[in-house]
Structures are given as C-alpha cells and as structure tokens.
Structure 1
Amino acid sequence: MMLEERLNNWVDSYNRNGYLNGTLLIASNGNILLNKGFGMANWEHSVSNVPTTKFRIGSLTKAFTAMAIFQLHEKKKLNINDAVEKYLPGYPNGHQITIYHCLTNSSGIPNYTNSPDFWTQKMRLSSTLDQLIDSFKDQELEFEPGSKFGYSNSGYALLTVIIEKVSDMSYADYIQQHICHPLGMYHTGCDDGLKIVPGLASGYSFWEEPIHSAYADMSFPLGSYGLYSTTEDLFIWDKELKSSTIINKELIEKMFTPNLGSYACGWVVSEVVGKKCVHHFGDISGFSSDFLRFVDNHVTIIFLSNMNVTPVMHLSREIAKIVFDKNVSLPAPTVPISFTKKESIVGKYVIEKEDKVLTLSIKNEELYLTVPKMYGAVYKFKLVPVSHDSCKTVFLTEMIYEQLIFYYSLSGQIENVQYVDCFEKKHMLHKLEV
C-alpha cells in the first residue's frame, strides 16, 4: 500500500469517529502528502477547520523568540552569552543569568505558569510585561543558572522584553517584520486578545459536548506562548529552518544544539519513533499543537488543534510511525449497539497503582465516563457500546479514541475492567464499593 493511501486510511478511520479536531499537514522530501482540516474552527457558527485556519500555537512561539534573539546576536545588537542585567538593570541574580540560559530553559527562574493560582486566577487577568516580570523576579532561583534544565515561561518573558528593548520595537512588530513577512508567512502573528484576527479558530474543551475552554488573557504570553499561525505558514517556517535565509547557518546550528538533556533554543532535539527529531509541543486555552521535524529523513508533521482533549502529541507520533512504515492500530467505527445492563456498571472505578478515579454515570439514558487528564483537569465523554457477547462488552468514547472493556466470567459476572486511554495505554480498573 502506498504511503498516501496508508495515511488516508488512518485519517479516515479517526475522522469517521470525530477523533480529529484541527488542521494536519504531513510532508516528505518537501512535498505535501496531506493537508486537511477536521472538526470545527467555531462550533457556534458551524465553521469548519480548513488548511488556512489560524490557531494559537502556544509554546511553538518559543522557536520564533529564539530566532529573533539569534538575529539580534548576528546584528551585534546583543550577545547570547550576555548577562540579562545588561538589558534589565537591577534584575535579581541578573549577573548570573544569561540570555542563553533563558533560551535553553536553564535559568533557574521559577516558571510563572506553575504558580498555584495561575490557572484559576492570574491567567485570566491582563498584565503588562513589566508587571508579569515583577510577579516572579523576587522569587528564589530553583537552581544555579546553567546547572540544570527547568522549563520556564518566565525566561522567555525576559527574552521578550530584551527583544523589545534592543530592537526598539514591540515583540509583535519585530516578529512580523523580521521573520514572518520576509519569509512570506502572512498568516502568523502575535495574538493580543484585542485585535480581531480573521480566520482564527476558537479554543474548546469538552464536558459531554464541546464547551468553551477557560479564558486566558493574551496581553502577556507574547514571546512565551502568544503567537497564532497556520499549518501552511509553519511549513514555510520549517523550510526556512533548513535553508536559513534570514540568519547564518552557524547560528542555526547553535540554535538546534541541545544544552542540557534534549532542550536546545525553543526546540527539543530527541528520538521520536526511533529517529532523530527536532520538535516542540504547545498548548493554551483550548488549543494544542505539535510540530515534528525529522530533518535527516526530510519528514515534517504539523498538527494544530482547537480542542484541548485531542491528544496531538500521540497522534502526530502515530502518523510518524505510518510514514516510517511501522504498525499502528486503527479505531473501529463507532456504530452503537443495544446494551441494556447500564445500571450494573455505573459507579466509581480506580486505576490500579494510580490514585485516578474514573466515574461511570447515566444521563438521559446514555452512559458517560468522567476521567481526569493533563494538569488534573476532568472531562466527561459519552460511552458508546460497540460490541457485546458473553465474554466481554466494548465501549468507545466520543471525541477521543478511548476504550472501556468489561470482561465476564462463565456465570456472567464482571471479572475484569480494562480502560485503554487515548495514548493506547492499558489500565486495569477496580470498582470502588460504596
């Protein structure tokens, strides 16, 4: 079977069940093999995702911030080994922390998005860049700068303000004028949450049905996770990173050299499905994105989604397996069958060796699964019975590919319960007796 056919089979089987949400671009040797939108860009107005739909790209932004810093280094406006106090006089420990430490997440500055009240309160409040930096600058360093890796949006906030000071431009203007427009990326920019961005998808979460994700104020993410883009623009970006027209090749190499562990400058360099890969993940307020660049194999996979439960990192790796001729499993079609014993399986179930509790409940005669996921957030999916016999009953969830399987003894009693999550990891469940 040809590669395009295998990719289309995979896409069709996932999309048939409504498991793909967003826009997906797959390219090999510079040729686009697949470039499609799935699901809704806007559920309220029934607007579909298409290849030109814009998405907030979260931390994929960090690669653009890194490029801006390296451009300014090349123009001798700054040096990546400069201490940050040169640009932010009086910044605590600013003599120890370098621009390069911020680029490679090795600054030791606590990550402001990890503060206990960030997701419940601060995320929703507008803030200037200076106010944001004031909120974390007096916190104790988590480690000596340069000694360890510690992912920090705070370091990228410092880089944002350094770009603005050195270039005498706003971050948004710098990125568009010095990176995006020279490359022909006219659908990429900084989303401040005020300006209307034509063609920008809305971000969603899920509870029985698509719902609005928690509001995030866009006044301060900027160079940490504030850009929007399209898969097509990011493919132009991918090609630029190979040919390097806006910066010299030595600096590109430095940008892609891991510092501690696998983190380089705005990129992770590691093995994915057994191949060297330059990649990054992003998520913000209903949007999640993954960008895989198998540079030696000339393969690029870009998945931008506006439904936060869509497991883009897992799905992009499944696609990589298909491209590299490895086996993948396909979901069975969600064709409901009759299942009359709903009451017998309702209750709370705990995952063995974890303290995660899953709840099965009935609403309007439909079964639902409530399950905690990333960051401990809880989601609720409809369970669809798809097969049943004397040995087992199989349920599929709506919106993401998960399975719940009940195994029966010869006397018809439930003997085992297995939960297969969206990463295809299998868990045994125990029912909690009330």
Structure 2
Amino acid sequence: MFSRRRLLQAGAGAVPAIALGARPASAAVAEPLTTGVVPSAMAGFDKAMKTFITERDISCAQLAVAKNGKILLARGYGFYSKPGAPIVRVQPTSLFRVASLSKNITAAAIVRLVQDGKLTLGAKVASVLGLSTTADPRLANVTLWRLLQHLGGWDSSVSGDPLWNDYTISASLDAPLPISHADIIKYVTARKLDFDPGTKYAYSNYGYMLAGRIIEKVSGTSYESYVRQKLLAPAGITRPRLGRSLRSEAFSTEVTYASKYTHKSVVDQSGAVVPYPYGGFNMPNQDANGGWLASAVDLVKWGFVFNAAGPVLNATSISRIFAKPETGVTAGGSWYGLGWNVRDNNAGGLNTWHTGSMPGTYSFLARVQNGVSYCAIFNRREEEGTLDFDAIDPILGAAIGTVKTWPTTDLAPKYF
C-alpha cells in the first residue's frame, strides 16, 4: 500500500542481548492469551493477528477495528510482568509506545493552532522559534507546511538523525547527558541543511520535534497539555500520555518492551549498558515525533477526528492535513500530508495511514475505503530481517475481505 521507511537508523552500535519482555520459551509456540471482544463475523482479523504474533514470537499486542465511526473489535494479546508483580494479560486498553503514530497528533495540534488563528501554515519556523539562520540562510525558507510534510531540508540518511545521536551531540556541545530539546536544536541549527527546503521529501523526526516546540511557544503550555486539552479531551480520549525512558518509570497499565539489543544509556552519565528500550534512547526528547503512549482503541477513535468536521478540527483543517505537497505525488501515487501518508482509493476517497517503529515497538494505523479503520500495536519490532513487521498492512487489508456482514454494536461505551 505504501513505501515504508525504517524510523531508527541509529541501531548500528547496539549489541544483542536476551530479549527483555520476550515470551517465555514454554509459551513461544502456544496460541496467545487474549482479552476483549471479537464478533464472530470478524474472526478473520483475530486469526490473522494470532498467526502474525505466533510467527514472530510477540509477547504483547493489540488490535482495534472500526467501521463508519463505530469500534467493532477490540483485542489484547499476550501478557507481561514487572518486577515484584504478577503476570498481567494485555487488555484492549493497555498502553503501548506508539512511536511515529505520534506524528499525526502533532500535525493536528499545529493545524488546530492555525484553525484558532494563532499561526499560519506559511509561517517561517526560524522566525517563530527565533532560530539563527547564520549557518544556513536556507533555514529561513522552512515553513510549517514544509516542516510537517518532511520537506524541511533535513535528511537523516545524509547527516544522521539527531533524535538518536545523543552521544555525538553531548560531546559536541560539552553538554551532560541526558541532552535536552534545546541542545538538539542548538547542534542542528549550527549546521547546514541537507537540501533546499521544499525540493524533496526526506522523513525527519527532527522536524516534528521542532513542531512540538512551536506548539509550546505559541500555546503557552506544554506540548502534552495542549494535545490532551485541545485535541484528545474533545474527542473523548483520555488515556494517551507521553512515555518515559526507564522501566521503573513505566505507567501501571503500560506493557513491557522486548528487544534483543542493548545500548549505552543516554539518560545519565553512567555509561552503563542497558536494554535498548529502557534508556538506550531518550523518550522525553521523542515527544512530538514519537513519544506517545496509547492503546489501539484510542488510536482508532483518534482517527475518527479526521472523518468529518467536529469539535477538534473543522473541514478546512482536515483538507489541509491531507493536501498534496508542493513536490507532488510519488511514482506509486501516494504523498505525505501533515502527519499522514495518503493516496486516492477505489471508493472515491482517501486511504490514510502511518507506521511507527522504535526498539521495543511497532505500530500501524490505517483509515481505508468504505469507512474501515484499524490499528495494530506490538511490543517488539523486526530485528533480524527475517519476518517483516510491515506485512501487517496487507494481512489486515486481506482480513477485511473475510467479513461477510459487518456487526453494528459499537464497543466505544465499553472502552471510553
């Protein structure tokens, strides 16, 4: 359905370790424990997920499916445990790190500020944030449109991803770990862009991190508070929150994350080698580009915000979010809007989707033709290059065809 991109390119220095949070060996091939509701007419979705989970030895997962604004399936798969606590089954409402599914939240927050007359999408990022353009005058040409459509001039394949480059930035600035948003911005602003803004697409976590700082400056409140008050609460969604780095800081309903890799801690000066999902990267710094925790039902309901004008976004805002960029569409006919991948569908509308990936997380959210939407989240991602997690897209797409008659019972009252 779309061309994918690995979010994390900073894993080269990671070393294998025993997978934290992995399924016990005795349960590796067993059908996963489940919670939640799966109508019999939608058993094809459940069967597909169980096969996917078992093949990849995933210990925690979720799936939610909706049609025409009603949540019809909500499922938790597997279990997890925390030190000194009993084993817990994954619930449909358990919290997962969702990585870059955070980007459509951030883009919507910018558009909401525009809707409320606080900003324009043509505003220059350097002007709004007071960034120096001395190192590269082209920075003055980065608008909010370009920032959110990944046309800003930063290309991680050329200069690296500063959201995953803590040690280099710390050494360059002589700044102690953990580094801050301000440190990252200071480091990047002192360097040249990788291309002329507006001339090509290059996925940029840094661009979305900057968007978070714009939200804070213009709104006068924290990024998280603005999103929860102006976007999530009016949509009737209360569970999502920003994640934390360490396992000891996890929320009570948050799953554990699995990775075979370890990494030097970036959250302190100890130099300790830690499980990659727990201190190998700095979750607070990821906030606007990949820091949210949510459940699959939360994200499917969040997707309803983009169906039609409502208390969060008006029709103009929604059209802006899915507008084609100045660079046009890809050879495959898709484009990146504001926080969403987009393409025309066979029903005269738009398919919109996004993936998220970081050590210990893989997530996928899609809104497709005939009012169907779905979200799947897992507590690990592909690390060995054998079983592609991106395969969840065509697998869930095929499951739509197994539904002969769609149920009509809305599960939202059960989970919200």
What is the rounded CA distance, in whole Å, between the counterparts of 2:100 and 2:351 in structure 1? Answer: 17
Q: What secondary structure sits across from 1:166 in the alignment?
A: helix
Match of 2:393 among 298, 316, 324: 316
Which position in structure 2 is the counterpart of 1:304?
A: 377
Aligned-partner residue type, residue 223 of structure 1: A
1:270 equivalent to 2:343? Answer yes
The residue number in structure 1 matching 2:102 is 61
- Choose which of 145, 169, 174 in structure 2 pairs with 1:100: 145
After TM superposition, the score normalised by the length of structure 2 is 0.69
State the identity %: 24
- 1:42: Cα distance to partner? 3.8
Cα distance change on mapping 1:312 and 1:29 into 2, 3 Å: farther
Is the contact made by 1:273 and 1:321 (CA closer than 8 Å) also made in structure 2? Answer: no
Matches within 5 A, 1:42-121: 42=81, 45-92=86-133, 93-111=138-156, 114-115=160-161, 118=164, 121=167
Worse overlay, 31-40 or 150-159 = 31-40
One-letter code aligned to 2:149: T
Residue pair 2:151, 2:199 contacting (<8 A) in 1 also: yes
- Alignment partners' CA distance in 2, 1:273 and 1:38: 32
Check whether the contact 1:126–1:220 (CA below 8 A) recurs between aligned residues: no
Hey, what does 2:257 align to over in structure 1? Answer: 203
Q: 1:15 Cα shift?
A: 5.1
Q: 2:25 maps to what in 1?
A: none
Out of 212-221 and 180-189, give the one that drifted further. 212-221
Superposed CA RMSD in Å reads: 3.1
1:235 maps to amino acid: V
CA contact (8 A) 2:244 2:250 kept: no
1:204 alignment partner, SS class: coil
* Runs of 5+ consecutive residues of structure 1 not aligned to the other structure: 327-434
Corresponding residue of 1:10: 48
| Matching residue of 2:264 | none
Question: Do the aligned partners of 1:272 and 1:317 also contact (CA within 8 Å) in 2?
Answer: no
Aligned with residue 182 of structure 1, among 211, 234, 251: 234
SS in 2 for 1:173: helix
Amino acid at match of 2:257: G
Say yes or no: does 1:248 pair with 2:325.
Answer: no
Q: CA deviation at 1:32?
A: 3.5
Q: Is the 8 A contact 1:180 1:186 kept in 2?
A: yes
Q: Secondary structure of the equivalent of 2:362?
A: strand
Cα distance, 1:117–1:186 mapped onto 2, change above 3 Å: closer
User: Deviations for 1:30-85, whole angstroms, at most 9, x for unmatched residues?
Assistant: 34443211123447653222201101111111111111111111111111101112
Q: Deviations over 1:230-275 (max 9, x none)?
A: 1111122111221332121111111012313311001001379999
Kindly tell me: are residues 46 and 212 of structure 1, through their superposed partners in 2, closer, same or farther at Cα, counting changes over 3 Å?
A: farther
Greater relative contact order: 1 or 2 (C-alpha under 8 angstroms, separation 6 or more)? 2
How far the C-alpha of 1:287 sits from its partner, in A, is: 0.9
Give the superposition deviation at 1:161.
1.0
1: distance between equivalents of 2:162 and 2:212? 24
AA matched with 2:360: G
Between Structure 1 and Structure 2, the one with more helix by share is 2
Q: Deviations over 1:82-127 (max 9, x none)?
A: 1112212243234211111101000012449934993684699522
Question: C-alpha displacement at 1:313, in angstroms?
Answer: 2.6
2:323 maps to which of 257, 260, 267 = 257
Q: 1:19 to 1:285 in 2, by over 3 A?
A: closer
Could you say if the C-alpha distance between residues 15 and 146 of structure 1 is closer, same or farther in structure 2, counting changes exceeding 3 Å? closer
Whether 2:79 is the aligned partner of 1:40: answer yes
Cα deviation 1:364-409 (Å, max 9, x = unaligned): xxxxxxxxxxxxxxxxxxxxxxxxxxxxxxxxxxxxxxxxxxxxxx
Q: Aligned equivalents of 1:300 and 1:283: distance in 2?
A: 20
Which one has the largest radius of gyration? 1
